[in-house]
Amino acid sequence: MFNHVSTNELFCSFLILEEQLAPVFISKPESQAVYVGKNALIQCVIRGSPPLNVVWLKDNQSLLEVPEHHHSSWEKNEHTLEISNVEATDQGLYVCQVSNSVGMAECSMELRVIDKPNFVRPLCPVALVVEAHLHLECKVDEDTGVNVSWTRDGKKIHQSPDLKNNDTSNCSYSPCLSPEPPGFVKRLEAVTVWKQGSNVQLQCSIHGSPELRTNWLYNNSALHAGDRYAISLKDGVAALEIQNVTLSDSGNYSCEVLNNCGYECIDLLTELCSPPEPPCFRKDLNSVEAVRGLATLLECEFAGSEPFKVTWKKNKKPLTSDKKYRIISQGFLSSLEIQTFESIDAGEYECTISNDVGCMTSKSKCEAVLTIQG
């Protein structure tokens, strides 16, 4: 007899669900300042369910195509963007964006690149009253790690309470100047000659502590700016301009320069030359009878104001010194020598004298009639 035993089997299945976590930043990078040529490291720690997609941006532009000196990496939950040999163009706002299937997060930091300092506002020349304080100020475009030094005539000025730096990189120094008495750098000429009717200017260069003052005198009487006189002092040059000078303007002129420390004076003697005279002939060319084969001399004497321009012509054609002709002009005498007279040398000769009298030119003409003997 057999006994039958029945067995029942029970099977169970389990579904395990894992909660998905959106990405969050455990640590965020801080803004930093880096010198040109150094390295910058931007790091953050992220937590969230994988897979995580991390993207770096600079100034809202993706760094998917990372420049050669940019390198992104990650180890576990730490993500890093390294910038080697930082350039000025690397300055900007950097953003790290991370996302997964359930969310997105981002953080940002400011990278400031410090370049060599440049002057935004340089020093400017200043003029001071004697015993006043000098205040010099300049501005540079950097305020981090900038060392400021001041020099005077190439020698360093040491730190003192008068030397101040502030957060905007303004630098100032206020030393007290030693007053300097006046003097002449370039003096007036001892004697000068003027042409009547011309405009003339007297100038001299001066130096000394401000405020410099100048006076002009004529024969020890003060001159004042007016219709014929213009007086100026600019950039260390004192000037007196006289218009349409006449014979009465001849005499002694003085320039006085003074400040709170002293006084100096320089004198100038002026003369006026008489108006230039046009040329005239004292001795005209004479007609001559020349002997063939011999030398022949033509000469004339003249007067007027020098310098003169002398030209010789034969039959209206200009002549110059050569093997045939020799022209000599000295002082108020000019001569033309025909070395060996030939038949073809007969003709009309003329000598023209001119000088410069403003826009006027005066000329005198003489003729020489040459005949052949034998």
In a domain, 8, yes or no: no
Would the pLDDT of 365 be above 60? no
pLDDT score recorded for residue 188: 63
- Yes or no: say if 286 and 307 are a contact pair by the CB < 8 Å rule: no
Does residue 244 share a domain with residue 207? yes
pLDDT score recorded for residue 359: 39
Does residue 336 share a domain with residue 291? yes
* Domain that residue 284 falls in: 280-354
In a domain, 310, yes or no: yes
Would the pLDDT of 107 be above 90? yes
pLDDT score recorded for residue 191: 56
Environment class of 228 (CB within 10 Å of its CB; exposed 0-12, middle 13-18, buried 19+): middle
**Which one of 238, 273, 308 terminates a domain?**
273
Does residue 249 share a domain with residue 191? yes
Does residue 217 share a domain with residue 138? no
pLDDT score recorded for residue 261: 76
Q: Which of 16, 84, 74 is nearest to 50 (CA)?
A: 74
**DSSP β-ladder status, 136-140 and 119-121:** antiparallel
Does residue 260 share a domain with residue 228? yes
Query: Cα torsion for 329, 333, 336, 337, to the nearest 10°?
Result: -100
pLDDT tier at 364, thresholds 50, 70, 90: very low
pLDDT score recorded for residue 12: 61
Q: What is the DSSP letter of 20?
A: -
In a domain, 65, yes or no: yes
3-class secondary-structure state, position 205:
strand
Please give the tally of structural domains in the chain: 4
pLDDT score recorded for residue 180: 73
In a domain, 80, yes or no: yes
Give me 127's structure tokens: 């003029």
Does residue 266 share a domain with residue 284? no
pLDDT score recorded for residue 368: 45
Average pLDDT of 164-172?
Answer: 47
**Which one of 256, 273, 290 terminates a domain?**
273
In a domain, 10, yes or no: no
In a domain, 76, yes or no: yes
Give me 29's structure tokens: 């990078």
Whole-model pTM: value is: 0.36
Would the pLDDT of 242 be above 80? yes
In a domain, 63, yes or no: yes
In a domain, 187, yes or no: yes
pLDDT tier at 166, thresholds 50, 70, 90: very low
Selected residue with higher pLDDT from 324 and 10: 324
Would the pLDDT of 333 be above 80? yes
pLDDT score recorded for residue 367: 44
Would the pLDDT of 165 be above 60? no
Mean model confidence pLDDT for the chain: 79
Would the pLDDT of 202 be above 80? yes
Would the pLDDT of 306 be above 70? yes
Percent of the chain residues topping a pLDDT of 70? 76
- Yes or no: say if 220 and 254 are a contact pair by the CB < 8 Å rule: yes
Selected residue with higher pLDDT from 203 and 367: 203
Token pair 């007969």 is found at 346
Does residue 307 share a domain with residue 229? no
Query: What's the pLDDT tens digit per position in 36-77?
Result: 889 999 999 999 988 899 999 999 888 876 667 888 888 888
Does residue 339 share a domain with residue 294? yes
**Which one of 222, 250, 273 terminates a domain?**
273
Does residue 88 share a domain with residue 167? no
Does residue 324 share a domain with residue 246? no
Query: What's the pLDDT tens digit per position in 205-228?
Result: 888 777 788 898 999 899 999 889
What CATH number is associated with residue 192?
2.60.40.10
Selected residue with higher pLDDT from 88 and 17: 88
Dihedral sign of CA atoms 125, 126, 130, 136 in order: negative
